[in-house]
Chains A and B, each alone.
Chain A
Amino acid sequence: MSTSIYLITYLSIIIFMAVIVKRIIHYVSNPLHVRWELYPVAHEGERASYGGGYLEEVDWWEKEREFSLIGELKVMIPEILLLKAVWEHNRSLWFVTYPFHLGLYLIVAFLGLLVFGAIAQLSGFSLSEGGPLLKAVAALTNLVGPIAFILSVIGSAGLIYKRITDPGLRNYTTFEHFFNLGLFILTIGTAILTWLFTDPTFAVSRTFIAGLISFKMTPINSSVFLLQALLAAFTLAYIPTTHMSHFFMKYFLYHDIRWGDEPNINSPETDKKIGVVLNYPVTWSAPHIAGHGKETWAEVATFNPTAEPEKVKEEVHEQKEDD
């Protein structure tokens, strides 16, 4: 039984990675998009503090451009760790979505601690009898795990409550929201039961992870734990297929779109991409676009559908002569 859970877990990790890679490949292989930045642009250094940017300079294309990684981090860190935008613009939701997100972050930290412990174990160290570092890891795992579980279950339940009782949110809530939140409650709820009744020091969890890392697939004899592992495997594979893929796609939404203010200067690569997109075919059917024998973006964009400018020129010429 436990071997098949190991195999399912491997499969879920593969699906998780594959879906992430697929989404990223899809994103980066899309054609060049036009610039659509939105200020404040966090990497604009000093100017970011008031929402300004390089276009505030005369002859900006001749000036050295600032790029402040610190500026980006100053925005990204509170946004990711504290959900700042929700705090500022949707406070009542923050009180439930923050525990949920914080719980998930702590679950990631908890898994990191388990992996660390498992590697130590595989290297012949014992967590309970090892040095202070290993003891600290064991203690931290015991602390972080339950807090993470409880926060995410409270957050999930709170989100369900909010989505049912807030008429504004209810309108935008679909079955999938309830399914996702229910899945978290079920999976993490099972983890809480496992912790309470079978695995209070997470020794079984660590053994399972060591079995995964070493491919030894050490047998596990707890059916609650195996159920928890099965649910966790399903959840892991499922997350990136949903809108929750924003946890990694947000990087592109921020860096490539919202803060994508890179001007096309001395960039043969961008010029080449513009050349490619301008040669794409255009099939829009409206009369000002179709029916003039123009097929590519370059042709359509340099064609004047009014077919009148020549006539206007003539009129202007005549008018000039009359004058």
Chain B
Amino acid sequence: MSKKKMIKITDISKNTDKLASVANEDLMPLPADFEEKEWDKIPESTSEKYACILDDLNILQIPKPLTKEDEEDLVNKFIDGMRKLFSKEDNWTFLTILETTMEHCAKCNTCSESCHLFEASGENEMYRPNYRTEVFRRIYKKYIKEEPFAKWRSGDIDLNWRTVVRLGELAYRCNICRRCAQTCPIGADNALVAREIRKIFSQEMGISTPELHEKGSMYQLKIGSSTQMNQIVVKDNVEFIDEDFSDETGYQFETPWDVEGADILLIHNAGEIMAWPENIAAFSIIFQAAGISWTLSSDLAAYDSINYGVFYDDVQFARTAILQAQAAQKLGVKKIMLGECGHAHKALTVIADRVLPEPLKIPRESCFPLLRDIVMSGKIKFDPERNNFPVTLHDPCNITRLMGIIKPQREIVEKLCPQFREMHPHGPFNYCCGGGSGYAIMTRNNIPEWRFKIAGRKKLEQILNAFSDCRGPETKKYVCAPCSNCKGQMRDMFERYELLEKEQLTYSGLVELIVNAMVDVKPGFIKWEEDY
């Protein structure tokens, strides 16, 4: 039954079991009938330890306060962190952008309709982009800025432990896709507020999600990759990929490692090596066939482009970016190139641009422009007939909306895929896959349910609509999703809704489409399940 009710800003502080719940009846309808089950209960092992008072799931593991002192401690630490967030020394990175959002939002809700979570949840107030910002803004005006008449001017808020816990969790109910920021007439940025709240928890309170922190950025700093592959294992695995795919494709290739003075240091998301080895192979085949001077690096953090700090922690972000730049400096390459990973693109190319000091300023670029140039150059022979199945293109937010790389990937699919069709909207106005800002790697408890039911719902609708002329299991279809996180989200979502069986729908990257069309490679590089 619909549990929709108007949630007031001040409800966040109330002594209730939870703030909100999204019922199946309220979900945005899809252009196909998919059965949705009720939310799985949060396991007791989780709800006993962590404060689960926002909705039907738990993402940020905030220890449950057991005593009055614990409760006060939570509030005091949060306020300490918030003060630092508004200090130029501790938050030089984002202070200006945060302050302007605090001061100039007109509270007009123009950003609401742009948010796929708000829409997918049946406009549940909790998901309105401005909801968490408004709570945060009221705390800022009342407790940090101590603005005279804050209560009347900006609205009142009671800052208790429930407010803190719910606000922390709410920061993890946003994909930080910045679609809302794009529609704001003023230029305010609700996505940034979600990220800044995550920073308070991580940088001050030492609370973050295990997937992003302990098993994410910390593994990368410790072992070299969040996949836990050290440099020996990663090289072994890639060697195995080289052998395996040389046999399979009939195209002999070898992935170069640690080549000093190469033109390009390519950094893959190491998750590809484990989950989508064909992506690694495809890059190596294309670069070898095009005669590119390139290398991978086996240095700490430099064979894994991920930088989860970009989702929750500036310090972890800077540490990772510096290690990656240092590896490039050591090899003396001309530039760093990012493989098919959206957040890694943005992290190292754009955000690190004002973090890396002079000696580490090695130019950084996306792989797509070079791939486009290779495909257009005539150096490699293609047969587009091999890609003659319906293909649509997913635009990873980080690469398109946040970096303006729109055309290169389109020029490639337009040339190599006779049945290419766009999703709507697309390019910089795309919708997030639902896995953005860290969720794609989260499989804890009922988080996947949320990823499919709410976060990925709009993308699923877009995909199904893009193939409205060829629905059903008779026609093989392909979603080109050139980003590891987006692929992770699609893999899990397609499995949940049995889209391979019901729709012959598969997903993979851009380089796979290129290699699939290469005349020098045996046909059938891209596989639908039954081909394996």
Contacts and interface: CB of A to CB of B under 8 A. Distances in A.
B187 A277 contact: no
Nearest to B113: A89
Interchain residue pairs A-B with the least CB separation, the first 10: A53-B404, A253-B187, A51-B428, A306-B222, A301-B318, A85-B185, A286-B206, A39-B404, A172-B107, A90-B110
A97 B186 CA distance: 14
Interface size of A as a range? 35 or more
B18 interface: no
B443 interface: no
Contacts of A319: 232
Contact of A50 (B93, B113, B203, B407): B407
Interface string A273-314: 111011011111111110000000110111111101100100
Interface stretch (A55-63, A122-130, A137-145, A185-193): A55-63
Contacts of B113: 89-90
Contact of A52 (B187, B221, B407): B407
Interface string A16-54: 000000000001001111111111110010010011111
B210 interface: no
A70 to B, nearest CB: 18
Nearest to B104: A246
A167 interface: yes
Interface string A225-263: 000000000000000000101100110111011100101
10 contacts: A34-B353, A47-B404, A93-B109, A169-B109, A171-B125, A253-B188, A285-B77, A288-B213, A301-B322, A306-B218
B109 A55 contact: no
A66 interface: no
Contacts of B145: none
B503 to A, nearest CB: 29
Given A60-B365, A319-B232, 13 more contacts: A33-B97, A34-B351, A34-B354, A51-B400, A52-B406, A59-B363, A84-B185, A168-B109, A169-B109, A177-B107, A261-B404, A288-B218, A312-B224
Given A56-B408, A286-B203, A287-B206, A304 B188 contact: no
Contacts of B402: 37-39
B9 A171 contact: yes
Contacts of B315: 282, 284, 288-289, 300-301
A51 B429 contact: yes
Contact of A250 (B183, B187, B428): B187
Interface string B172-208: 0000001001111111110010000000001111100
B338 to A, nearest CB: 11
B357 interface: yes
B403 A243 contact: no
A283 B355 contact: no
Nearest to A286: B206
In terms of DSSP, what is the predominant structure of the interface of chain B?
helix
B354 A30 contact: no
B355 A284 contact: no
Interface of B: 6-9, 77, 80-81, 84, 88-90, 92-97, 99-100, 103-114, 125, 128, 130, 134, 152-155, 178, 181-189, 192, 202-206, 213, 218, 221-224, 230-232, 300, 315-316, 318-319, 322, 335, 349-351, 353-358, 361, 363, 365-366, 368-370, 373, 400-408, 427-429
Given A39-B403, A55-B365, A312-B224, A270 B88 contact: no
A31 B88 contact: yes
A113 B232 CA distance: 77
Interface of A: 27, 30-41, 44, 47, 50-61, 79, 83-86, 88-90, 93, 97, 167-169, 171-177, 179, 243, 245-246, 249-250, 252-254, 256-258, 261, 263-264, 270-271, 273-275, 277-278, 280-289, 297-298, 300-306, 308-309, 312, 315-316, 319-320, 323
Given A167-B6, A250-B187, A243 B108 contact: no
B400 A174 contact: no
A321 B401 CA distance: 48
Given A39-B402, A89-B114, A286-B206, A58 B373 contact: yes
A257 B100 contact: yes
